[in-house]
Structure 1
Amino acid sequence: MALFANASDLKIYHDRPTPKLASCNFVASARSSEALAQSGHLAVSAPSQIMGRFQLLKTLRHENLCEYVEIHRGKHDRLFVVNEYHDNSLQKARSEKAQTPVSVDLIQRYAFEIFCALAYLKQNNVIHAALSPDNVLLDENDRIKLSGYGLYYMTGHGVDVDFPIGYPGYLSPECVLDTCSEEPYGYDKRDCWAAGIILVEQFCRNSFWTTSDVGLVFDSLNTLAEWAKDGKDENIWNHQGIESLDINKDILEFLQGKTTNNDNSMNTKDSIEVFRQLILNCLQVTHTKRPDYHEIFALSFFNNSTKNKRKEYGWIHGPVLASQNLQPDEADIDEPVKKKDPATPYDPLADLPLSHIYHLWRLAGGDVEVNLVKRGVFLSMPVIERLPRVCYVEDGEETGPVMVDTTQLYSDTMQILSYKELYQRLEQEQSQRSSERFEWDADYFNVVDENDVNFLLEETDKFKKQQNGINNHNIDGEVDNGDEGDDDDLVFYDEILSPQSSVMGNGPLSGSAFITSPGTPSTTRSLNRTFSFSSMNRSRSQSSSSLSINTPAPSTPTQASIPRRPLSLREQDVNYQYHRQRLFAELLRQYPASQKEIIHHAKVDIPPLLRNKIWAAILDVHGDLDTEYQKIDKYNDITSDRQRLILIIHVYVHVFLLDVPRCHQYNQLLASSAGHEKLRRLLKSWVSSNKKWVYWQGLDSLCAPFLTLNFNDEALAFACLQKFILKFLNNFFLKDNSAVLQDYFAVFRHVLSYHDPELSGHIDAIAFVPDLYAIRWFLTLFTHVFPLDKVYHLWDKFMVGPSSLPLFVGVAILRQIRDDLLKYEFNGCISLFSEHFPKIDIEKCIQSAMNMCKVTPPSIVSLRPIISPTPEEHGNNEVQNWWDKPLSVETRKQELAPRIDMKDFPRISPYTLVLDIRSDHEFANGHIASSMNVQPTQLHSFASILRKLNRKYHVVVADDSEKQGPEFAAELVRRYKFPRTAVLQGGIEAADWFYNSIRSGRLCTCRPQKQTTAGHKGKGSEPPFVIWRCKVPTPLSKR
């Protein structure tokens, strides 16, 4: 199923002129914010309430509605609303053609489109309440486009603003009498009255009221309401006192049926009469007698052809197919294809959705508030002019005119956004493409250090395996099944290209094939392996699962040639984002067929505008999400289990009363009542759907990124949350999760020892254990530590990285503040984390974490399985070796250095100093090639000499003893600060079994060389230390 094929923000618009955007602004009510604060909602304010409700308006799509794009909060609680705009309107059309008769057929089409739009709004519980000819716009095809329909809804029916909503000349009598609230919400029919006024004005070419005095208009409406109460509603327009009201004479005659229209030959008497009946129905003074929209469509005024058009509105075009991009043969179609005029200049914005255009406009320097300030829109009466002349102290009487400047509370003047700067930026990139090449940033996951190993190069499809439940005991989900090559059809190994050869928009990267073994360095001491994602024409030439996109992918140069461009600059580069958005939009329309392409490109970066859908695609979200989400009971939880009932009460207390009202309340969406309600439903759905797990405090923060990105799509947010927890936090939310957390912290401690032995040794010496500071890190994946804007960037890498990446991020955070940690004792570290936590550079943290992750063997970050295999399962498998059995959590917690499996050892062996601590006799009988035999008791004597060898990795090989190897490795870490130190799990026995099983090697049985230091003098009777060394040189020495 193409999940995003019909997504409105991915739609391509053909043969459409570039749409215009405009903004209006208003000020939220300060009194409403104060009332919310007094009621206990300290973080909730009127602006946040408005912004929360506005999100629904962004989802409304109808061909007769102007699309809402975005809302921003400015200074002094002023809100700026950006929406689609058209220059023409019914008001302008009436003014320009005041003397021209209008056809009833045209009025019929206008009426039909207006009522279709209003009916659609009613289906979404939205009332226009401010309908007037000025906001009934006309597009280039003379089609109705209602504007301003969201003001009443987003302001909570006018509660959150201090100005009235609506235009006096188009208000219904019940609005003036304030009797709207007496009826249920669904029976509000003020828009029907306003539509009737607009249509009769358009037909008669006159205003309904002869006065602009609001008081006189309201008096007339009150009089009509009083007459209606007297039972004269049926013939109210023929009332004997009707002429005393300020109603236009021509319109009144039309309502009374006196218009013969002799001067207008285009309209028949019957057509005028059926139109009059429509207007009389709309202008029923008693709102309960006013027809509903389905009753209006049933009137004879709308003929069958018009009704048939309405039936077609429910059809949705989709899905996107590969054949749609093929040019049809003119001989096979009835009408030839309309070819574009080559003289017509290409408009890069014409086919983009409005949200994309506005995002690019902002990147090009656009700012709604700043533009209005420059135009002098906010110039108002000086404060000194609004003060009273004299204030008497005794009675508080004020003398002089007291001016209240309310003119700036709301401005319905639409300020059109200029695309001039945006076009200049885009044209500048086109002109400079040939001279100043655009460089794609490096994929930091696959960047190769020429003197190191990258364990991530062969993980292109690891996440899919983990989704299928493979190898749950490994945090990275790695299994050597030998089938991984089937998923590498998009990966090519090419020569290093010059930075100038990677050009955005100039087609695929090219290069001759060059493959280097990942385990053994080349003769030039370099592992110059690059990933090149060529165009989909090349990679999918024999597959129809993906469309062809002539867009290059990032090359992966070596570490030394990476052009370091900060992520913040990339996200602010309008040209870069323009091309990235087009690339991902095309890939998302093809999802799930394009999932691997999406993951490949997302490893460079993710465009913020499409982050929600890209995350969903990476997490392999698919299916009928809305149906599945609707099946979940988000409100009731009936159970007879007493323990389950206690858990439900626990969830209610934490979710509804404590956690939700304080979850990231600096975010305007989460601080709104709509955000609170959505977060509650999301958390309740998760608890209801995961019976074996429970709610732990911090889950609300874990939901926050998904909810803010998918505020209008709870089903997608919930599906992403489910997949995300399964990948990164599986079993973290068990009722008793102590074993899971302790095992995770043990691995975290090992990773820290592996990459920063000095810091690890210090933290271990002062007993500053991860339980004291890292629970909120990993249980919330840093959402409880960083603001959401940083979390987005962090999770961008989590999504496309291995599930062990959060561990390395935790280590990277500690390494950023290592100077402070090294100078503090226990109490100082507690104070640092609880009161004065330093500011973290998130981009450096991500880069540091990925650099560590690439060079860390996967077995070092493997977790112990939560559920042990049953005896029956053991019987179906081969006999398990003793070193393959998982270590207990207590054993892992006691060990400072990690353990490495033999399956990872061949990858690092060319860079490894292997220290065999068995006896010299056992060493001579068989040992790992290029290893050294040392005695643990003499470590203090030869440690400095071993450090001078400057090897990348250090692996300790011991015998069957469970303590000797870990203790020796702990000394290397704690006392001598050897980096990347690990113990070979299973020792020499595991190595012997491994070489025999793969049948491509064996233990070395050469006669080792005896080495010592010349002139060494032992202390007292201590003999000189001796090192036995294998004669086989390391692969790195063969250069």
Structure 2
Amino acid sequence: MRPLKDAQLGAFTFFASALPHDVCGSNGLPLTPNSIKILGRFQILKTITHPRLCQYVDISRGKHERLIVVTEHYESSLSDFQKQGKTVSPEKVLQVAYEVLEGLEFMNKHGLVHRALNAHNVLMDCKGNVKLAKFGFYHMTDHGADVDFPIGYPSYLAPEVIAQGSFHPTDPSHDEAPPPSGPKADVWSLGVLLFELCAGRRLLHNIEISERLKFILTLASCSDILPENVQELLRKCLTFLPSKRPTPAELLGDPVFSGISCQYTPFQKPVSLFSSSLRCAHLELPDDISDLCKDEDEDYLSERAIDEVYHLWCLAGGDLEKELTNKEIIQSKPPICTLSNFVMEDGESFGQGRDRSFLLDDTTVTLSLCQLRNRLKDVAGEAYYPLLEDEQSSLPQSNSSNELSATVTLPLIIRERDTEYQLIRIILFDRLLKGYPYKKNLVWKEARVDIPPLVRGLAWAALLGIEGDIQAKYESIDKDTPIPTDRQIEVDIPRCHQYDELLSSPQGHIKFRRVLKAWVVSHPDLVYWQGLDSLCAPFLYLNFNNEALAYACMSAFIPKYLYNFFLKDNSHVIQEYLTVFSQMIAFHDPELSNHLNEIGFIPDLYAIPWFLTMFTHVFPLHKIFHLWDTLLLGNSSFPFCIGVAILQQLRDRLLANGFNECILLFSDLPEIDIERCVRESINLFCWTPKSATYRQHAQPPKTTADNGFGKTATYYSSDYQDMPKTDLSREPLALCDLKAELSPRISAEDLIDLCELSLSGPTKRSRAGKPKIVAVDIRSVEDYSRGHISGSINVAFNTAFGPDGELVQCPATGVLQNYRGRVIVVISHAMKSAAMVSKLRCGKRFAYSCWCLSDQQNCHG
């Protein structure tokens, strides 16, 4: 969106038509409220940007089908000339006409018709340039079908529009709706508007519409006072027959504008972030960037985008309904005063007539920015222009305010509601994303702190590595030809996150269908599985007006975290994934793993929807956003850590319940603290060796950049599959063998790293001085004496265990009792023996986590 500059934020409200409560659609579901339909259609209007159009910013839905629209606004309009009772010079008339036509032509290119053109909706900025307001009213209301009032003003409507009369879908007297108005209807409205400017509105005051129409058609009263070129323009605009009336595009090329058209440069639409065009082709910077911050009185906030200013206005305490109530646009009444009429037997009626507060009031209320400016008064001008290459560019270090520097330590939900903090973060991310992909590493760095909600969609795309002309690729995919999957998609969409107003709208369903179908068509080796719609939902919500970006993000996300999950036969992939997850539970929480195995509550019963949809099926969108902000920073093994973190939040209830109670618990998952879940997931992720989560069916190796969670986790940031293979690396394992093992295996190279063999021997010590990792070699004494890891403990399997695998009491096993609660690495050249020891560690006698290292070469290497 363009900068705020001298514009203001305005809001107006109206009611959508109410639907009957006892009527369902053809699919048996309740009808979608008209307000939801309008909300969905409105979204595309936010992308319509032109110097002659007031930018749409947001729409909110209230009670009783009330809708409040936020838009760019100016106090001055053409109605000011009419109020003064003065005629306008012919030069000004031509200027207004040309600028209005520019806006109308741009609208027509996007399939829009104004239909509500009048003097109040032609605003003027501080330079006297035209800004068309409410140009999307006709579109968002489905040509007036979703509201109880006509779109447009009778004095300005074209004859063919008046001849159609009023229409409402619930009116039984109308068989079908009239065709929607075309661009030529706006040309007539423009002609009436220009005629009023030329002749003065008082000439048409108190004249009935029929007489006014005759008066306008003759143009008799102005033939002597207007120049010929203006008269010719009015005649073309006010041509009675639509077939002979020109369109806005045709009028722009009329010779009448030959003298002023050269003063206007063609509008160039800003280049999007993901395209093949240069984004900085016309970039101009001052010789000294410090000049940008010299003027202490400069209004830096006005240089920010309109949607950004509105977002900050809401964070600073802005309330749309309160603003409209203060201006008496919204009038609340006690319930007793809103009772409908009722008729007694004698015909006498009681009650209220129609509440006039439900009628259209097209007044636009200016939203005051004083509270926001007062909130940001202490933010220095330099904060609006952060230095990206400075080592102190990150917020906790670079901000001069101690208060803001401390904000980063607060919970995420508080940070997202802090006005000053969000301003700094939005500005920083905005600059980084404008430099993408060259600033990709800095995007990763700042995303570790947090991602501002306003830029989350683009930030996710950067974290997923989206590049190139995504729109051209998306448009090249056939999304119209019927395919067998269409039926399943149609069934799934009405059940996917339909609590959200945006995704439940008809436009949301259409976009859902197109993005999902594009993915299915462009991945012929994969199939549509239930759950794919849930995966699509976060990307579609964040990129509702950019289907191509939603598709691109989804296409990059699935191979990274769900590689081959959508094969026609994905059983081997799912089973391997669930087995590794079971081993993760056993390692990080042996007691819980032991209990769940005893009652038979295996991950197959609850975790498939978790991982197949990356938790989008079990959490609402607002929680998914916070979860995925961190998930996208990790590799394909990070979902295991999320799953373990969720189980740990439910740990007490799981340990206290049996199988049936656990099934009921997961059928209606209790409230999960997402911030705690994220925090614990990172801790688990940083401590888990990469080879412990190795999967044979993971994504093939590829070159990846450093994208860890910081210095403590840099080693674990990339997938184990991406690391170069050596003789000490872990090898693939058959699924049956993997399932037979309770604890995860690790590679010798991970053991070397964890134990820091070259520095401190096989035990890695904590701050308290106690070893956190203990290496237990279960080979025979003879093999152990030939070669072993320095500092490891030898507990020979043949002396510590009986022929049936039972534990025999001996001095060596007594040593193990001293390491209860520690991490044990079992070293053996026989995997069967190591697996048996790892199973015993989960028993009542041993309560320590265990990794298995089984490779004779590794032991003697």
Please tell me the TM-score bracket, short chain as reference. Answer: 0.7 to 0.9
- 1:165 deviation in Å? 1.8
Instruction: Tell me the equivalent position of 2:476.
Output: 631
Whichever residue aligns with residue 248 of structure 2, its letter is Y
Paired letter, 2:585 = L
Does the C-alpha gap of structure 1 residues 889 and 398 become closer, same or farther in structure 2, counting only changes over 3 Å? Answer: farther
Distance apart, 1:291 and its partner CA = 1.5
Q: Percent identity, aligned pairs only? A: 37
Pick aligned residue for 1:780 from 613, 622, 627 = 613
Looking at structure 1, the residues matched to 407 and 502 of structure 2 have their Cα atoms a distance apart, in angstroms, of 38
**Residue of structure 2 aligned with 1:260, choices 220, 224, 234:** 224
Per-residue CA deviation, residues 43-62 of structure 1 (Å, 9 max, x unaligned), is: 62211111100001000011
- Structure 1 residues 287-296 or 673-682, which shifts more? 287-296
Find the aligned partners of 2:185 and 2:416 in 1 and give their Cα distance. 45
Q: What TM-score results when the alignment is normalised by the length of structure 2?
A: 0.86
Residues 356 and 258 of structure 1: CA distance in aligned 2, closer, same or farther (over 3 Å) = closer
Q: Which amino acid aligns with 1:730?
A: Y
Deviation at 1:135, TM superposition (A): 0.9
1 CA distance for matches of 2:554 and 2:113? 34
Q: Distance in 1 between matches of 2:238 and 2:27?
A: 41
Output the CA distance in 2 between the equivalents of 1:925 and 1:301. 101
Once superposed, what is the RMSD of the aligned Cα atoms? Answer: 3.2
- Kindly indicate whether residue 186 of structure 2 is the aligned counterpart of residue 352 of structure 1: no
Alignment-derived partner of residue 841 in structure 2: 972
Q: Which of 488, 498, 507 is the equivalent residue of 1:654?
A: 488
Counterparts of 2:279 and 2:726 in 1: how far apart (Å)? Answer: 51
Matching residue of 2:858:
990
CA-CA distance at 1:372 after TM superposition: 2.5
1:580 aligns with 2:534: no
1:597 corresponding residue in structure 2:
442
When residues 24 and 916 of structure 1 are mapped into structure 2, their CA distance, relative to the original with a 3 A threshold, is: same
**Which of 782, 787, 795 is 1:934 aligned to?**
795
The equivalent position to 2:323 in structure 1, one of 371, 386, 391, is: 371
Equivalence for 1:158: 144
Instruction: Give the 3-state SS of the residue equivalent to 1:313 in structure 2.
Output: coil
Q: Which amino acid counterpart does residue 749 of structure 2 have in structure 1?
A: K
In structure 2, distance between residues paired with 1:208 and 1:602: 63
Distance (whole Å) between structure 1 residues aligned to residue 88 and residue 282 of structure 2 = 45
Alignment match, 1:136: 122
Q: Is the Cα–Cα contact under 8 Å of residues 883 and 990 in structure 1 kept in the other structure?
A: no
What are the equivalent positions in structure 2 for 1:298-317 lying under 5 Å apart?
Answer: 298-303=253-258, 305-306=260-261, 308=262, 312-314=266-268, 316=270
1: distance between equivalents of 2:356 and 2:809? 82
Amino acid at match of 1:427: K
> Any conservation in 2 of the 1:70–1:81 contact (CA below 8 Å)?
yes
Q: CA deviation at 1:170?
A: 1.2
Distance 2:635 2:524 in 1: 27
Matching of residue 962 in structure 1 with residue 823 in structure 2 = no
* 1:717 CA drift (Å): 0.6
Residue in structure 2 matched with residue 103 of structure 1 by the alignment: 89
Q: For residues 725 and 51 of structure 2, what CA distance do their matches in structure 1 show?
A: 67
1:515 matched residue in structure 2:
none
Matching residue of 2:51: 63
Residue 801 of structure 1 aligns to a residue whose secondary structure is: coil
**Per-residue deviation, 1:921:** 2.0
Q: Is the 8 A contact 1:754 1:898 kept in 2?
A: yes
Aligned counterparts of 2:699 and 2:321: Cα–Cα separation in 1: 58
CA displacement at 1:74 relative to structure 2: 1.4
Is contact 2:563–2:697 with CA below 8 Å preserved after alignment? no
Q: Which residue in the other structure is 1:537 paired with?
A: 389
Q: Deviations over 1:921-976 (max 9, x none)?
A: 221221111100114425666667535446752100112x2211011011112434
Aligned AA (2:189): A
Q: Offset of 1:289 from its aligned partner?
A: 2.7
Task: Tell me the SS of whatever aligns to 2:584.
Answer: helix
> Are 1:113 and 2:65 an aligned pair?
no
**Structure 2: gaps of 5 or more residues:** 167-175, 272-276, 399-405, 702-723, 756-762, 765-772, 802-806
Q: 3-state SS of the aligned residue for 1:312? A: coil
On the 8 A contact 1:209/1:248 being kept in 2, the answer is no
| 1:668 to 1:208, Cα distance in 2 relative to 1, 3 A | farther
Aligned residue in 2 for 1:205: 200
Aligned to 2:632: 799
What is the distance in 1 between the residues matched to 2:511 and 2:101?
Answer: 31
Q: Give the drift of 1:421.
A: 1.4
Letter of the 1:864 counterpart: Q
Q: How does 1:449-488 map to 2 (within 5 A)?
A: none
What CA distance in whole angstroms lies between the structure 2 residues aligned with 1:377 and 1:595? 47
Change (3 A) 1:791 1:380: closer
Q: Distance in 1 between matches of 2:366 and 2:505?
A: 29
Q: Structure 1 residues 400 and 86 mapped into 2: Cα distance closer, same or farther (>3 Å)?
A: same
The letter for the 2-side match of 1:199 is L
User: Using the alignment, how far apart are the partners of 1:297 and 1:867 within structure 2?
Assistant: 56
Residue 427 of structure 1: SS of its match in structure 2? coil
Deviations 1:543-598 (A, max 9, x none): xxxxxx9555669xxxxx99741100000011110000000000111111001110
Matching residue of 1:810: 643
1:655–1:680 contact (8 Å) kept in structure 2: yes
Output the CA distance in 2 between the equivalents of 1:989 and 1:338.
Answer: 63
AA paired with 1:891? D
CA distance in 1, matches of 2:11, 2:610: 41
Matched-pair contact (CA < 8 Å) for 1:505–1:552:
no
1:864 aligns with 2:696: yes
3-state SS in 1 of match to 2:632: helix
CA distances 1:884-936 after superposition (whole Å, capped 9, x unpaired): 43111111112111101011112221321111111222212211111001144
**Separation in 2 of the partners of 1:792 and 1:693?**
26
For residue 593 of structure 1, what is the amino acid of its counterpart?
A: Y
Cα distance in 1 between the residues matched to 2:305 and 2:393? 21
Q: Please say which of residues 796-805 and 136-145 is displaced more in the overlay.
A: 796-805
Report the equivalent of 1:411. Answer: 361
1:922 to 2:783 alignment: yes
Change (3 A) 1:149 1:759: same
Deviations 1:957-1015 (A, max 9, x none): 112x22110110111124345343110142x421333xxxxxxxxxxxxxxxxxxxxxx
Q: Which residue of 2 aligns with 1:730?
A: 563
Does the 8 Å contact 1:701/1:783 carry over to 2?
Answer: yes
Report what 1:42 is aligned to: 30
The separation in 2 between residues aligned to 1:743 and 1:815, in whole angstroms, is 22
Aligned to 2:160: 174
| 1:199-229: CA deviation from partner (whole Å, max 9, x where unpaired) | 11011122564327xxx42xx1xxxxxxxxx
* Larger mean Cα displacement after TM superposition, 132-141 or 294-303: 294-303
Question: Which residue type is aligned with residue 862 of structure 1?
Answer: Y
Equivalent position SS for 1:800: coil
Structure 1 residues 562 and 349: CA distance shift in structure 2, 3 A: closer
Hey, what does 2:61 align to over in structure 1?
A: 73
> How far, CA to CA, are the matches of 1:976 and 1:46 in structure 2?
65
Letter of the aligned partner of 1:123 in structure 2? K
User: Quick check: 1:896 aligned with 2:729?
Assistant: no
Do the aligned partners of 1:757 and 1:977 also contact (CA within 8 Å) in 2? Answer: no
**Pairs aligned (count):** 794
- What do the CA deviations read for 1:739-779 (whole angstroms, capped 9, x no partner)? 00000001101111111010011111112111111111000
State the alpha-carbon separation in 2 of the partners of residues 706 and 338 from structure 1.
38
842 and 284 in structure 1: CA distance in 2 versus 1, 3 angstrom threshold: same
Residue 751 of structure 2 is matched in structure 1 by: 905
TM-score (norm 1): 0.72
Structure 2: distance between partners of 1:825 and 1:158: 58
Which amino acid is 1:907 matched to? D
Contact 1:43–1:665 at 8 Å: present in 2 too? no
Q: What are the superposed Cα offsets for residues 611-631 of structure 1, whole Å, 9 maximum, x if unpaired?
A: 010111111101111111110
Deviation at 1:88, TM superposition (A): 0.4
Larger-Rg structure: 1
Give how far 1:506 is off. 12
Q: Which residue of 2 aligns with 1:283?
A: 238
Identify if the C-alpha distance between structure 1 residues 506 and 141 changes in structure 2 by more than 3 Å, giving closer, same or farther.
Answer: closer
- For the 8 Å contact 1:64–1:114, the answer to whether it is kept is yes
2:827–2:859 contact (8 Å) kept in structure 1: no
Counterpart CA distance in 1 for 2:502 and 2:625 is 16
